[in-house]
Structure formats: structure tokens, C-alpha cells
Structure 1
Amino acid sequence: MSVHDNIDRIIRNRVESRRFRIKDIDQLKTVDDVFNQYTIDALRELMNKHIVQEVYGPVAQGKEAKVIWAKASDGTDIALKIFYTSTAQFIRGRYKYLLGDPRFANARITNTRKLIEYWCKKEFSNLSDAYNAGVRVPKPITFNRNILVMEFISYEGYSGVPAPLIKDAPPKDPEIAYLTIIRYIERAFILGKIIHSDLSEFNIVNTGNELVIIDWGSAVKANHPNATEFLLRDIENVSRYFSKEFRLKVFDGKALLGALLRRYEIKGEVIGDREGWLLINGKRLIDDLT
């Protein structure tokens, strides 16, 4: 079976499994256990504000959250990322990303739900920073309690079907894909002052036309105490995937990190060229590496 046949099979299965709609918000408790009363109340507020019109059902889930396919009031697909409100593992693994983040220096985290609300707010803020920097991410819409509302990234032509990860749907041109992700890393760092901090083939999706970086909850600001460590890890994770999977020649991780750090400190004009590379004092990142 070819890679594309496998992708088509995955998509067909997903399409068939999503053909239902929640007609009554009170149904949610019986449909999925992520919908406790706290979450239902948060969703009801979003519906009363005409942000969410219809809820269909879950399309993805992880250790921290479940993603729900929904419709906005204008009929467009949207994604509801609903963070679980009681997960001990979630709490243990999240503090290092909140500590040192100046945006949450005065956060009063008194219980699990408060932590989840801060985490939801943090991911919305991170998405906004990356989106405004020109990184292709799900467009953030709003958040409420433990629900993050954002653009639904679908596989082309299939409403309500999430785009597959690149590990399941490899890019047709690996070299262009690799350089695209490196450009996004630079844009996030230089323009958005943000680092994804958990970047790999497990949170880059392929829509069939473009690559989109998802799951920005762990992202930190460029002045975070562990920023350099996280930036290098992102670079090395991405380079490892493209090198191992496609035998692609990739940049040396530490050399790329050094170039990014130097460019971050330059106070000159920053503009974008036709390919999306940043020009800092007239030079692109790849010019600094050759």
C-alpha cells in the first residue's frame, strides 16, 4: 500500500466516523466524558455569545486535551480544544513552562481548574503571538475557562476531518517542507518572541497544500530562562525527522541556534522576502549559515 493510499484510507475512516451532530447541549454528558458540568457551562457561554453554533464530536485526543469539531455562527468549521479539568500527570508536567514566563509571574494557581484555565489562556496567547508573526498555525479565535476556540485545520476537501500529522502524511517535497518549518521557527522567535518548545513530527500537520504547526501550549517567550535549551531542542527534533525519514541534508543544530540568537540581537530593519524568509539587514537566515 502506497503512502497516499494509506492517507486516503485514514481520511475515509475519519469521514465515516464523524457523521453526527450534538443537537442538545445537555446530550454532551452522555456523548463524551470530557463534558463535565464545568465544561458544559463554559461551552454554553460560548454558544450564548454566538461564537459556537453547533457541536459535532471529538476528532482527536491527547493526554492533556480533547479536540472537538464544531461550527461557528457563520457556518465555518472551528475546533474546540477542551483541556481535561482533573489530570495529575498534566499538573506535574506543566509547571516548568509556566515558571519563568513573565506573562504569568503573578498568577495565583490555587487548584487544578485554575491551572487549567491559565494553561488554556497561555496557549491562546502563544497561538496569537505565532499567528501575528506570520507562522502558519490554527488561527486563534477566543477562549473560555478550559476551552480554546480556534480555526479547524482540515484535510483538503473534507469538512470536519483533521489534517493528518506529517509522520502519517509525509510532505511531497521534503526539502521545501524542512525549509518552511525552519522559516516558521525563525519567524516565531524573531517576530513573535516565542519558542514552540515541543516541536516535532507529532505536532506538524499536512493539509495537502501546506504545513501547519499545532499544539502551542508548551511554548515560552524568548526571555524565558530555558529559552535557548528549548529552541535548540525544537531545531534538533525537526532536523532529526527530516534527516532520518528522507535522508535530507539538514543544518547543524548548534550552528542554526547560533545564527538565530545573533539575528535576534540585531536591531536593524526586519522585512520578509517573497519566499517568506526574514531579511535582517538585508540577509536571510540561510545566508548566515553558508
Structure 2
Amino acid sequence: MSREERREKDKDLFETVEEVFDTRTVLNVVELMRRKVIKRLAGTISAGKESRIYLGYTYDDKPVAVKIYLTSSAEFKKGILKYIAGDPRFEGFSPRNTRELIYAWARKEFRNLTRMYEAGVRVPKPLGLYNNVLVMEFIGEDRHRYPLLVEAYEELEPEELEIVYNKILEEIEKIVCKARLVHGDLSEYNIMVTPDLDVVIIDVSQAVDVNHPNALDLLKRDLERIEEFFRDKIGLNNTRDSKEVLEGLMKCLEKRKGE
């Protein structure tokens, strides 16, 4: 790539994100481009208080999701400290400012994605990370992401919902028993449903190690939310009691501990 082409590419990037992110964040995206992780950004997929996700493309023109964490949200800072404090992977970590904390949060999501992906959990494949910019597999087609469960359920028949429900329980089991993590914020808002009724778990930055002091409470909450959504909101028959599911997961953890 010539110097002029690089300058033009960087100019386009700044015009894309400068209204939302500070210069340092934009330079972080540029660094991922220079490392050949991504080639360009092509528009916003979703936006929230904590981050924005952009559609990006690799140098072989494959679509990817580029998640950029906001580095100036004081409210966000308060919410994430409880997920880092007590995590054995961040023992001794003491951020000096909000930016360092957000960088650690992005690193945490990348590690969680990697751990889950390697354990066979259906999550977006992690592809790269630089400070507060995370690049991962794009879950969708034709530039459109697949719907979240909360968006898809009304279009599904009862037997299809039962398939989705059982697949979610299977993914939870893999997260806990194989990856030895707890999602910590699982709900209909961070589970994607594919056209063939597969499920993809997203937003795993808050996931904690099973040895985290709050892991059991977070796991109970995850299971209760899933049960309440399918049993109470949808009215699906044949849902399993969350306490019963929890007992099975605890037995699985005890069994693996002894291996």
C-alpha cells in the first residue's frame, strides 16, 4: 500500500468514527489495520452505552464485527468493577484510570471468547484485539447480523422454540463445564438465533471464572432468566426448573474437579 493510499484510508476511518471516539481510539483501529487484522470499516451494526459494533472487512474481504468500547463512561466503570474484582485472572490488577479499566475489560472479553471458543461453545470467533478495539467473527449474512432471541421468538413455532431452548441449555453446560466460566448476564438480549435454529452466545465481557466469589449467584441468575423468558414470557411447555439445571451443572463441575 502506498503512502497516499494509507493516508486516504486513515482519513476515511477518522470520518467514520471521529464523532463518537477520541483520537486515541481511532488510532487503535488504525493500528489493527496496519497489523492486517482488518482492512476497513463499513458502518454501524449496533450501538449502546458501553460500546459500538461496526461491520468491518478483512484483507481478503471477509466480514467481521469490530467492537469498540467507550473509554469515557463513568457509569460503565461502576458496573464492571464487580466482575473484575475477585477474578483470579486479574489478581493484583489496579487500574490508574478509566481508560486502563476499559482496556482490561476488552482484554477480558477477548480471553473469555477465546476460552469459550476453544471449549466448543458457539460464540463469535475472536480474531484480534488492540486496547479497546476487539475484532471477531461476524454472525450474519449480507451485511446484516442474525436476530437476537428477543427479536426472533415471535416468528418461531413452539417446536422451534423448544429446539432453541434446549440448545441454549447445551451451550450453558459447555460454558460452565468445559470452559469453566459463567456468562454472568445471559438473557434473550445476548443470544443470537441463526436461520437453522442454531444459537450463538454474545457479549461475554462480564463472564467470570467458576472460582469467582460471585460465580454461583451469577449462574443462578442466568438460569432463572432463561427459564423465566421461555416459561413465563413465551409460555413454552417442557422447560426445566432452573434449580434442577443448576444441580446438574454443579455435579459436572465436581466431576471435572476430580479428573
TM-score with structure 2 setting the length: 0.90
Out of 238, 245, 258, the residue aligned to residue 249 of structure 1 is 238
2:175 corresponds to 1:192: no
Q: Hey, what does 2:16 align to over in structure 1?
A: 31
- Partner deviation per Cα, 1:109-140 (whole Å, 9 max, x = no partner): 00011001000000001111111111111001
Q: Is the 8 A contact 1:79 1:151 kept in 2?
A: yes
Q: Is the 8 A contact 1:196 1:219 kept in 2?
A: yes
Q: Hey, what does 1:284 align to over in structure 2?
A: none
Report the structure, 1 or 2, having the larger helix content.
2
Give distance in 2, aligned partners of 1:39 and 1:182: 37
Q: Which amino acid in structure 2 is aligned with residue 26 of structure 1?
A: K
Gaps of 5+ in 1: 1-22, 271-290
Q: Is the 8 A contact 1:78 1:151 kept in 2?
A: yes
Give distance in 1, aligned partners of 2:68 and 2:91: 24
Q: CA deviation at 1:263?
A: 1.6
Out of 61, 67, 86, the residue aligned to residue 75 of structure 1 is 61
TM-score with structure 1 setting the length: 0.81
Give distance in 1, aligned partners of 2:237 and 2:58: 41
Q: CA deviation at 1:35?
A: 3.1
Change (3 A) 1:35 1:159: farther
Identical counterparts, % of pairs:
38
Give distance in 2, aligned partners of 1:124 and 1:204: 18
Q: Is the 8 A contact 1:29 1:36 kept in 2?
A: no
Q: Hey, what does 1:114 align to over in structure 2?
A: 100
TM alignment of 1:63-212, pairs within 5 A:
63-154=49-140, 158-170=141-153, 171-172=156-157, 173-209=160-196, 210-212=198-200
Q: Which amino acid in structure 2 is aligned with residue 90 of structure 1?
A: F
Give distance in 1, aligned partners of 2:204 and 2:239: 24
Q: CA deviation at 1:25?
A: 2.5
2:248 corresponds to 1:259: yes
Q: Is the 8 A contact 1:77 1:159 kept in 2?
A: no
- Partner deviation per Cα, 1:17-72 (whole Å, 9 max, x = no partner): xxxxxx73323444342332111111111111111111111110112100000001
Q: CA deviation at 1:262?
A: 1.4
Give distance in 1, aligned partners of 2:241 and 2:186: 17
Q: Is the 8 A contact 1:174 1:246 kept in 2?
A: no
Give distance in 2, aligned partners of 1:267 and 1:43: 40
Q: Is the 8 A contact 2:13 2:40 kept in 1?
A: no
Change (3 A) 1:267 1:123: closer
Give distance in 1, aligned partners of 2:87 and 2:211: 8
2:220 corresponds to 1:235: no
Q: CA deviation at 1:267?
A: 4.1
- Partner deviation per Cα, 1:161-191 (whole Å, 9 max, x = no partner): 1111111112551111111000110111011
SS in 2 for 1:134: coil
Give distance in 2, aligned partners of 1:116 and 1:50: 23
Give distance in 2, aligned partners of 1:54 and 1:144: 15
SS in 1 for 2:150: coil
SS in 2 for 1:63: coil
SS in 1 for 2:46: strand
**How many correspondences in the alignment?**
245
2:205 corresponds to 1:220: no
Q: Is the 8 A contact 1:205 1:211 kept in 2?
A: yes
Give distance in 1, aligned partners of 2:134 and 2:257: 36
Q: Is the 8 A contact 1:34 1:66 kept in 2?
A: no
SS in 2 for 1:168: helix
Gaps of 5+ in 2: 1-7
Q: CA deviation at 1:268?
A: 8.9
Give distance in 2, aligned partners of 1:184 and 1:96: 24
